[in-house]
Amino acid sequence: MLIVFRCLSMLPLRLLHALGAGLGWLAYLGSPTYRARFRHNVAQAAIAPRDARAAIGAAGKLVAELPWIWLRPHAHKQALIRWQGVELVDAALARGKGVMFMTPHIGCFEAVPQAQVERYGLRHGAMTLLYRPSRSKGMDAVLRQVRSAPGLEPAPVSTHGVRLLLKALKQGRVIGLLPDQVPASGLGVWAPFFGEPAYTMTLATRLAQQTGATVLMTWGERLPKGRGYIVHIEPLDLPLDQTLEQAATALNQRLEDLIRRRPDLYLWGYARYKQPKTESKP
């Protein structure tokens, strides 16, 4: 599979996005389960179907662009990645207490670590990413390679991985988390997400409480016609002096605000309301 990814990475980004848009619609029309979940999540969020329609093709673009994002030479990628709000990252790193990038399933979230590595990797060390192995052996081999690329450090979804995240923050480095990914059992609490209980991570709150790290919302906007990406950085203040349930509720509210702003980019087909799995062993 790695060879296939390398070949695809050489295609123009505009072509990959065009192919991906078609792939997204094929998945939507061909899978009743996926289509039903997509529609349910959109309705649960009280989003007009027409406003979420573009997210069908965007989901396919997300898949199709992965070879380009992961394996394209850095010099080419970085020429097409811009930042908005980068001063927030600079200020957070200057504090020396570590930075948490909270990157939800919206837009091109894989562009965020790539941009961070290029801009900050040499000066501030590797970015540690929470990593969940793929069920596919071929895809897992690709993921292990890209997550272990220079400037990146993979942290498995386990107690060992949590220790790696904590170590990175204490060293003043950047870590990356998916705040709307369903965590393993015992690593979250139930909190409302668009009015429906969703198992929500508490890891970010606990890490911030222990280290004083700065928490930032980050997401990658996909520009039209393959012109690249904008990495958006926004402040994200979690109520660290309140209960984990209250902090999780506040986190979900911020995610809701972002999704309402850009419903065309959210991964509506993600099973956000599923039951958590048992935590992996270290």
Domain 2-261 matching CATH 3.40.50: the answer reads no
pLDDT tens track for 103-159:
999 999 999 999 998 899 889 999 999 887 777 777 777 777 787 788 899 888 888
State the pLDDT confidence band at 1, using cuts at 50, 70 and 90.
confident
| Mean pLDDT across 234-262 | 96
Beta-carbon contacts of residue 198 (< 8 Å; ≥ 6 apart): 182, 190, 191, 192, 252, 272, 273
pLDDT at 274 over 50: yes
pLDDT tens track for 26-49:
999 999 999 999 999 999 999 999
Q: Domain coordinates of the chain in residue numbers?
A: 2-261
Q: How far is CA 254 from CA 103, 104, 236, 260, in A?
A: 12, 11, 8, 10
The per-residue pLDDT for 280 is 46
Please say whether the beta carbons of 143 and 5 come within 8 A: no
DSSP letter for each residue of the chain: -HHHHHHHHTS-HHHHHHHHHHHHHHHHHH-HHHHHHHHHHHHHTT--HHHHTHHHHHHHHHHHTHHHHHHS-HHHHHTTEEEESHHHHHHHHHHTS-EEEE--SBB-TTHHHHHHHHHHHHHH-PEEEEE---SSHHHHHHHHHHHTSTTEEEEESBHHHHHHHHHHHHTT-EEEE-TTSPPPBTSEEEEEETTEEEEEE-HHHHHHHHH--EEEEEEEEEPGGG--EEEEEEE----TTS-HHHHHHHHHHHHHHHHHH-TTTB-TTS-TTSPPPBPBP-
Nearest to 222 by CA among 47, 24, 49: 24
The per-residue pLDDT for 144 is 75
Q: Are strands 229-235 and 81-84 parallel, antiparallel or unpaired?
A: parallel
pLDDT at 279 over 90: no
pLDDT tens track for 192-238:
999 999 999 999 999 999 999 999 999 999 999 999 999 999 999 99
pLDDT tens track for 58-86:
999 999 999 999 988 888 888 899 999 99
Q: What is the CA radius of gyration of the chain?
A: 18
State the pLDDT confidence band at 178, using cuts at 50, 70 and 90.
very high
